[in-house]
Amino acid sequence: MSVSVNEKAFVEKNEIKLGEIAGIKGEDHVLVRKLKNIVIGKSPLPGKSRYIGNEYIKLRLKQNNIDLVQLVLTIPEKVKVTRSFIEISRKEIEKIVLDYIYGKEFWDKNNTRIKNIQFPKLPLLPKKRITYKIIPPKVMNGIGTIPLSIVFLADGEFYKKVKATVKIQIFKEVVVTKKPLGRYRTIAHDDVMMQKMDITNLPNDIITNFKDVLGKRVRRNIWAKVVLRAGYIEFPPLVKRGDTVLIVAESEKMKITALGEVRKAGRRGERVKVINLNSNKRIFARVVDENTVKVDF
C-alpha cells in the first residue's frame, strides 16, 4: 500500500481528508477507502492556506489505527493546503442590491435612482451551493443612505454577512411657488406649479398635491421657486374680530340661538371668544362656518 502526499493541494470542504492531498494505491480496497477518508485537520478559510507537517500527518494515521509499517509513505516536510473559493464580484453585489431595491413595491422604479452602493470588500465563499438573502434595517424610510445586510448561505447554512450601504434618490412632483407670496396671501392657481425633483434632502412635510394648497394662505413671506411645506400654509380664518355670527347652543331637547360678535379670528373647528349681543356675556364657541359658531355642552 503506497501513500504519496503532495506538496501542494486544494480542498473544497471544511475538513482536509487524506484522499484530497495524497495519491493512495493498493489492492486492499477497504483500506484504501479508509485511508482516503481519514480527516487530517480543519480546512482554512476560502482563499486561505495552511501548512501541515509530515509528523502531524503520521500522527493522524496512528490515531486512526493505521500501522505505518504496512505503508510505503512519501511525505514532504510540509504540505501547503489551500481552500478553493468562489469570488463574488463587485458587479454581482451591485446586481443583488439593485434587484432587491427594484423588486420591492416600496420603491417606484420609474421615480427611484440608485446613486451609490458601497461595501467593505469582496467576499470569498466556499465552493458550495451559494444562496443569499437581504436583511433591511428595522426602521426604513426608503430614501437617502440605507444600510443593508447581505447574508450568504453555503449549502443552506449561514456562512458570511456583508454589510452594504445604498444611496437612494426619490423623485416626486412637488408644489413650488411661481412668484413671491406675501404673508397671509391666499394661494391661487396661478401662484404655484408642480415640479418634479429629487426629494432626498427635503423635509418630510413637503406638499405633493396641488389641491392641498389652493384656497389656503401662506403664514409668512415666501420667495419664488420655494417648495411649499405643510408648515408654510394654513386655512384662512372663517370669522374675524368684529364679525356678527349666529350663536347656536343645542342639546337633545332644545336649541337656543342668539346673535354674537366675534372677538378673535378663528378657523373651522377652533374655539373663539364671542359676545352674546342679547346678554352682553362673553362665551367661547366653536367655529362651524363663516356665519355660525356653536357652544359645546
Burial 262-283 (b: 16+ CB within 10 A, else e): beebbeeebbbebbbeeeeeeb
Looking at the fold, whether 110 and 145 belong to one and the same domain comes out as yes
The residue whose grid cell reads 367661547 is: 284
What is the structure's pLDDT at 123? 85
Rounded to an integer, the average pLDDT of 193-203 is: 94
Question: Distance between CA 45 and CA 160 in Å, rounded?
Answer: 11
Looking at the fold, whether 190 and 223 belong to one and the same domain comes out as yes
Predicted TM-score (pTM) of the model is 0.66
What is the percent of the chain where pLDDT is above 90? 84
What is the percent of the chain where pLDDT is above 70? 100
Q: How many domains does the chain have?
A: 4
Domain boundary among 49, 84, 119: 84
Say if residue 176's pLDDT is above 90.
Answer: yes
Domain boundary among 170, 186, 205: 170
Question: Distance between CA 148 and CA 131 in Å, rounded?
Answer: 16
Residue 184 per-residue DSSP state: T
158, amino acid identity: F
Q: Is the CA virtual torsion 185, 189, 195, 201 positive or negative?
A: positive
Rounded to an integer, the average pLDDT of 120-138 is: 91
Helix (H, G, I), strand (E, B) or coil at 209: coil
What is the structure's pLDDT at 102? 87
What is the structure's pLDDT at 144? 87
What is the structure's pLDDT at 206? 96
> Strands, DSSP E only, in 26-154?
39-42, 49-53, 72-74, 78-83, 86-87, 112-118, 124-125, 130-135, 144-154
What is the structure's pLDDT at 297? 73
Looking at the fold, whether 11 and 57 belong to one and the same domain comes out as yes
Say if residue 172's pLDDT is above 80.
Answer: yes
Other Cβ atoms within 10 Å of 178 Cβ, number: 12
In a domain, 239, yes or no: no
Instruction: Write out the residue range of the structural domain in which residue 286 sits.
Output: 244-295
Query: Residue 68 is part of a domain; what is its CATH number?
Result: 2.60.480.10
Of 99-103, 129-133, 149-153, 161-165, the least confident: 99-103
Structure confidence by residue, pLDDT tens digits, 11-67: 999 999 999 999 999 999 999 999 999 999 999 999 999 999 999 999 999 999 999
Band (pLDDT 50/70/90 cuts) for residue 252 is confident
Domain boundary among 61, 84, 107: 84
In a domain, 76, yes or no: yes
Of the candidates 31, 34, 40, the residue with the CA atom closest to the CA atom of residue 5: 40
What is the structure's pLDDT at 296? 84
Burial 72-90 (b: 16+ CB within 10 A, else e): eeebeeebebbbebeebee
> Phi and psi (nearest 5°) for 136?
-80, 165
pLDDT averaged over the chain?
93
Say if residue 203's pLDDT is above 90.
Answer: yes
In a domain, 221, yes or no: yes
Structure confidence by residue, pLDDT tens digits, 65-119: 999 998 999 999 999 999 999 999 999 999 999 999 888 877 888 889 998 899 8
Query: Residue 278 is part of a domain; what is its CATH number?
Result: 2.30.30.760
Say if residue 150's pLDDT is above 80.
Answer: yes
